[in-house]
Structure 1
Amino acid sequence: MTTPLPPDGVDAIRSASRRLVRELGFMGGRFAGTDLSPSAVHALIEIEGGGLTARALAGRLRLDKSSVSRMLRKLVVSGDVAESADAGDGRIKMLALTADGRRRVAAIHAFARAQVTGALDRLPPGVAGTVLDGISLYAEALAADGGPPDAEIEIVNGYRTGLIARVTEMHALYYARASGFGRRFEAVVAGGLAGFCERLDHPRNAIWSAWRGGEMVGSIAIDGEDLGAGTAHLRWFIVDDSARGTGLGRRLLATALALADAEGFDETHLWTFDGLAAARHLYEAHGFTCVEERPGDQWGTEVLEQRFVRARLTAGPQSAASQRRT
């Protein structure tokens, strides 16, 4: 049941947000049990995922490049972070945690988990999921008003060099952090996507990638063959952390669904996992309904898998060919 916002609800949310910032230690003191600044703690956690440059880190943290550069210099001097030349382009410096950095991040995670667990234990039974859904949706809504404008991100159709590797990387990094998936998941994503790209000449299959400044920051695909006649499969939908909050996810989803409708698929299906509240909200806003849930451990970590289905909308004035050119 939806709870209406009371007349003073906006100010109440502002007050709760200020208290949250204070209780988490953003105003001073030992943030996350360390002597580091909040931005440095967040930087270490992001670097832990791997595959980051200083530029990408600045995008994720919403900080200017000069601030990130100064912060990284301190983390390198302290022995927490190491820089190395990228194998493909020596001008690009890749960031990684040192052994000391990994130990520090492990301590940060332990402190933060204990902090969250302690707070949840003080709540009434059965409301922890409500907290997760609420804070996830609120953070997503705040992020939607920040970040680079949509105009800076171009969505293109079809295969481009490096697409399989980059889409696989985005999935592997995100789901390792969000769901604990590892080698098995990454291998399945890479193999499935490679096989699908061999079928892109078939007219009812399509993949789109989103590009900003020469970097791929998102993808989505419609597989019109693997689920049988009349059913489209929405696959490989991912937005890089640096592009979250720009509206890119909505743009990619709308692009793919427009093609599914124009091609006359009766239904569009997708598989996801329980716990991704912001993603579920996005799917439901575009007409998807969860029709099946089942536990699964095919990725090496047990999760509650969910199947969402959306019925076809009446085709608009654009033809299928024009949708594929989006």
Structure 2
Amino acid sequence: MVDHTGQIADIRAFNRFYTKVIGLLEEGMHESPFTLAEARIVYELGKRGAATVASELARDLSMDPGQLSRLVRRLDSYGLLSMTPVRGDKRANNMALTPRGEAVYQGFDGASNAAVRALIAPLDELRRRDLVDSMARIRNLLAAPEPSEPLILRPHRIGELGWLIHRQGLLYHLEQGWNGEFEALIARLYSDYEAAPANPPKSLWVAEQGGEIAGSVYIIPAAEEAAGTAQLRMLYVEPAFRGCGIGKRLVEEAVRFSRASGYKRIILWTQDSLVSARRIYQGAGFTLEREELHHSFGADLNGQYWSLEL
């Protein structure tokens, strides 16, 4: 059994640190008479800008309905809320902010912006971007991406080839037990991609969702095959984004590009231990041509060669 004691201690230490940094231990939110929970209700209603049923708000905030009811009564006593019965349901009320409540919301919003501005003021632009990227990563690891966040397939940017090498080298080590030979191999593969001429056509897609890299894949002419053959390489999806169809979408885009570019065939090399990837290839119409046992990356593997006639 894996001992997570150290990881738990690190997470708790971060929670204590961040609680102090953003002032959650203060008696009132932004020097107001309102608690954090009360301020969050005001903020949510202000952000929505429309009447909201209490049960919907409780669900969205993961708050006990009884607790929410008590907080709402207190906010109502301050004259911050307007309550109107829901037509056809005497037990439910629509909640909205009164003009006084809207003023409190605007005050909270401005104070929060000022607090964050002061927090990041000592940081240069690079460290600010690192901070925001790290926060997005925490959010995506602990919660599924918002359904409203679109999936974007785009070209890679400066610095991302190195990031892709780092992430895939690390992920395959943790998930498959592969050693540094694999990292060295993919470093060469990405270098080959970057050095390849524009014709015959090549393309690399980075899947992005919510500002985070969710996965990638690329197409390059197959060097040792007949003209008109493309090679699909380095399909991967970040663990936090798996199960959302991103791998399928990447492969579909690679096939579409290959067909539109005049390729007649696509080949790829994978390992039978990569079950999810093989399912994606099968779903896209690839067929297994041959298998080959080999020892690579510190492991005994069964390499598979797949192809798709376009």
* TM-score in terms of structure 1 length: 0.51
SS for the counterpart of 2:127 is coil
Please identify, of 298-307 and 282-291, the stretch whose mean Cα deviation from structure 2 is larger: 298-307
1:154 CA drift (Å): 1.0
SS for the counterpart of 2:296 is coil
SS for the counterpart of 2:280 is helix
SS for the counterpart of 2:298 is coil
Is residue 185 from structure 1 mapped to residue 182 from structure 2 by the alignment? yes
Structure 1, unaligned stretches of length 5 or more?
A: 1-31, 35-39, 45-67, 78-87, 96-145, 313-326
Counterpart pick for 2:206 among 205, 209, 215: 209
Q: Give me the whole-angstrom Cα distance separating, in 2, the residues matched to 1:253 and 1:301.
A: 27
Counterpart pick for 1:307 among 294, 305, 308: 305
Q: Which residue of 2 aligns with 1:245?
A: 243
Q: 1:93-108 counterparts in 2 under 5 A?
A: none
Q: Give me the whole-angstrom Cα distance separating, in 2, the residues matched to 1:265 and 1:245.
A: 30
Q: Which residue of 1 aligns with 2:283?
A: 285
Is residue 234 from structure 1 mapped to residue 173 from structure 2 by the alignment? no
User: Residue 150 and residue 268 in structure 1: after superposition, are their counterparts in 2 closer, same or farther (change >3 A)?
Assistant: farther
Q: Give me the whole-angstrom Cα distance separating, in 1, the residues matched to 2:190 and 2:231.
A: 13
Counterpart pick for 1:162 among 150, 159, 162: 159
Q: Which residue of 2 aligns with 1:272?
A: 270
1:163 CA drift (Å): 2.0
1:287 CA drift (Å): 0.3
User: Residue 148 and residue 170 in structure 1: after superposition, are their counterparts in 2 closer, same or farther (change >3 A)?
Assistant: farther
SS for the counterpart of 1:197 is helix
% identity of equivalent residues: 26
Q: Give me the whole-angstrom Cα distance separating, in 1, the residues matched to 2:242 and 2:299.
A: 25
User: Residue 149 and residue 93 in structure 1: after superposition, are their counterparts in 2 closer, same or farther (change >3 A)?
Assistant: closer
Alpha carbon RMSD of aligned pairs, Å? 3.3
Which one-letter code corresponds to 1:73 in the other structure?
A: R
User: Residue 152 and residue 71 in structure 1: after superposition, are their counterparts in 2 closer, same or farther (change >3 A)?
Assistant: farther
Q: Which residue of 2 aligns with 1:220?
A: 217
Q: Give me the whole-angstrom Cα distance separating, in 1, the residues matched to 2:12 and 2:149.
A: 33
* 8 Å Cα contact 2:207-2:215 kept in structure 1: yes
Q: Which residue of 2 aligns with 1:73?
A: 12
Which one scores higher on RCO, CA 8 angstroms, separation ≥ 6? 1
User: Residue 176 and residue 33 in structure 1: after superposition, are their counterparts in 2 closer, same or farther (change >3 A)?
Assistant: closer
User: Residue 253 and residue 94 in structure 1: after superposition, are their counterparts in 2 closer, same or farther (change >3 A)?
Assistant: closer
Structure 2, unaligned stretches of length 5 or more?
A: 17-125, 135-143
1:304 CA drift (Å): 0.8
Q: Which residue of 1 aligns with 2:40?
A: none
Q: Which residue of 2 aligns with 1:89?
A: 127
1:203 CA drift (Å): 4.5
Please list the CA deviations of residues 260-294 of structure 1 after superposition, one character each: whole Å capped at 9, or x if unmatched: 11223222111111122222111111101111111
User: Residue 93 and residue 160 in structure 1: after superposition, are their counterparts in 2 closer, same or farther (change >3 A)?
Assistant: closer
Q: Give me the whole-angstrom Cα distance separating, in 1, the residues matched to 2:306 and 2:267.
A: 6
SS for the counterpart of 2:303 is strand
Q: Give me the whole-angstrom Cα distance separating, in 2, the residues matched to 1:305 and 1:194.
A: 22
**Based on CA coordinates, which of the two structures has the bigger radius of gyration?**
2
Q: 4+ runs of 1 displaced by more than 4 Å? A: 74-77
Please list the CA deviations of residues 181-238 of structure 1 after superposition, one character each: whole Å capped at 9, or x if unmatched: 1211101111220221122533411111112343322111111142431211001111
Q: Give me the whole-angstrom Cα distance separating, in 1, the residues matched to 2:200 and 2:305.
A: 25
